[in-house]
Structure formats: C-alpha cells, structure tokens
Amino acid sequence: MLLSHEELKRSSEIDPSIAELESTLTEYYVDITLRDGTPSTLKIVRPTTSPPDGSPLIALLFGGGFCAGTEEQMTPYARGLARAFGAVVVSVKYRLAPQHPFPAQQLDSFDGIKWAASHAAELQADPSKGFIVGGVSAGGNCAAVVTRMAQEQPLAYPVTGQWLAIPSLFDAEVVPDQYKSSFISREQNANAHVLDEAALAAIRKFTKWDNTSPVRFPTLFRTPLSELPPTFFQVCGMDPLRDDGLIYDEMLKEAGVKTRMNFYPGCPHGHWTMYKGLEISRQGYKDVMTGIGWLLGKEITEEEGFKALAIPGA
C-alpha cells in the first residue's frame, strides 16, 4: 500500500537538534533567484573570523525523499564542519514534490550551488582550499547529479570532492548490465525499517521522475566518470538503497576515482539520525566528519569530529 504524502513527510522528518549558536560562528540567510525566476534561500554557516589559511566551501543538500525536509536539517552538520575545518558551509534549499515534481529538486540544487560558487568571495570562502558538494539520501542524489552537471556546465570553481550518504542513484532499468546481478537490495530490504519499498513507491509517484534522464540518475550522463572528484560514501546494509551506493562506488573505482566507503551492516536507512544514542549511530556521525576531512585533505580524529558536531542526544 502506498504511503500518503503526509505519512511520507512524517516518516522523513529529522530533528535538526539545533542548539544555541556560539560567538565563534556566524549564521545567516541569503536570498537568491532560481533559473525560472523563483526566489529561494541559502543558509550560510561560517567562522566569525576566517582562518589564516582560508575557508573551504562546502555545499550541503538535505534528505526527505524529494518530498519533505528543509535546509535546516543540515544545520548540525554545517556547524560541525565550520567548527572543525573553518569551512564556509552553504545549506541549499530546493522545492519539494508533489507540488514541484522532478527535476525541480536537482535543478534547484544546481542553481543554489552555482550561486554559492560564483559568490564565494562574498561568502568569505576560498574554494581553492576545497569545494565539497554533499548530501544525505535524496540530497545525496542531488549532490551526485550536481557534480555530474558541473562537468557539462562548469561552476566558477571545480568541485574537489563529493559526500554521498545513503544516496538514491539507480532504478532497476538504469543499472548497467554488468551490475544488474548485484542490484538486489530493493528486494532484500523491501520491508526494512525507516525506508521500505512502499515508501519508495510513494516517492516515485510523487516526484514523477524520468527514468531516461541523467538529471535523476547520474550514471546516464555521457561525460566520463574518470573526471569526477574523490567521493566519500556512507551506505547502510538494511536499506533498499544499499546497492545504489555500493555499485556507484565500484563504478567510480573502476574509472580510477578515489573513493572512501563507510558501510554499516544491518543498519536501516540513515540510522545515525533516526536512532540516536546507539554506538553505531555515533559512529555514523563520526564518519561524516572524518570522511569529509579526507575529502579536504585534513585529518581529524573521530572524537574531535564528534565533539565538533555537538548533536544533543547523539
């Protein structure tokens, strides 16, 4: 049975755990205009005083099945990354289905990140120190698509790394032939906690995506995978989207792209946000920080990263 839009929205809501902001960070909103003239908003988190060696630029995209969520979901990550790496972090807003079906989410994401790259100096960021595009779940799809779109429509600065957490990257029809036998998580995890096949069916219904479009499925772009930047994956074992991340990781490695994979056996989709307080959930948060540190070429211990995130209840 398909979930209603309201049921899907409730199942996708994540407590942002937003605490009071300390004086060492500055947080504000920027109004931008999308390609179709629609106004939109970016949320900026940056160090109040820029570090002497400059601030990398990190763009984050939220999850929620393309149908729910807001840029506020990424605030804990944004603050943690600003604390740990002196980064300027941009949380991008995109419009939601079903009111705004495919490809609004991906194109809005690209437009927001394009604006951020073009206005990096205004944001007090130096993308030559690193320009990371990342997201969780639906946001992981948008991040992967934006990075591929940037191969054809170059941004003001090249993307130097991508973070793809529990991303949606394939449907059965678009999995390359050599990987079809490995694309089994939709069936294996059809009744998984958090995200199941009923929810995926609802998302397909609400978003009305095009299975022939690279703007939905990034492997359909004709530009070479070998030109993609280093990529950090987080993949959950008890997730219908498990094989999306595993297969894309293999494809990138075969193309010569550096990748880093954190895999969580037996864990449902986005367990670190849905089941706080568990050690495996804390590990997910720690891996976010050490993995993005890897993309930036900056070492950070797990405990340093977890402390920087400062998520209540985690």
Classify residue 295: in a domain, yes or no.
Answer: yes
For 3-38, write each residue's pLDDT tens digit. 444 444 444 444 444 667 889 999 999 999 999 999
8 A C-beta contact, residue 58 and residue 90: yes
**Helix/strand/coil for 150:** helix
Run of H or E including 254: helix 242-254
Number of structural domains in the chain: 1
Average pLDDT over residues 106-127: 99
Average pLDDT over residues 151-162: 99
Classify residue 54: in a domain, yes or no.
Answer: yes
Classify residue 107: in a domain, yes or no.
Answer: yes
**Helix/strand/coil for 198:** helix
Classify residue 64: in a domain, yes or no.
Answer: yes
8 A C-beta contact, residue 43 and residue 49: no
Classify residue 314: in a domain, yes or no.
Answer: no
Spatial distance between the Cα atoms of 57 and 51, rounded to a whole number of angstroms: 13
Spatial distance between the Cα atoms of 109 and 50, rounded to a whole number of angstroms: 26
Phi-psi category of 43—alpha, beta or left, where left has phi over 0 and alpha has psi -120 to 50?
Answer: beta
* pLDDT, position 21: 87
Give the phi and the psi of residue 232 in degrees, each rounded to 5.
-110, 125
Task: Evaluate if residue 79 carries a pLDDT over 90.
Answer: yes
pTM of the predicted model as reported, rounded to 2 decimal places: 0.94
For 248-259, write each residue's pLDDT tens digit. 999 999 999 999
Residue for token digits 């099945």? Answer: 65
| Range of the structural domain that residue 261 is part of | 5-309
Q: Concatenated DSSP letters for 179-211?
A: GGGG--HHHHTTT-SSS-HHHHHHHHHHH---T
- The arrangement of strands across the sheet holding 25-33 comes to 25-33, 39-47, 88-92, 57-61, 131-136, 161-165, 231-238, 259-268
Chain-wide mean pLDDT for the chain?
94
CATH code of the domain in which 84 resides: 3.40.50.1820
For 126-152, write each residue's pLDDT tens digit. 999 999 999 999 999 999 999 999 999
8 A C-beta contact, residue 165 and residue 135: yes
Q: Say whether the peptide bond before residue 229 is cis (omega within 30 degrees of 0).
A: no
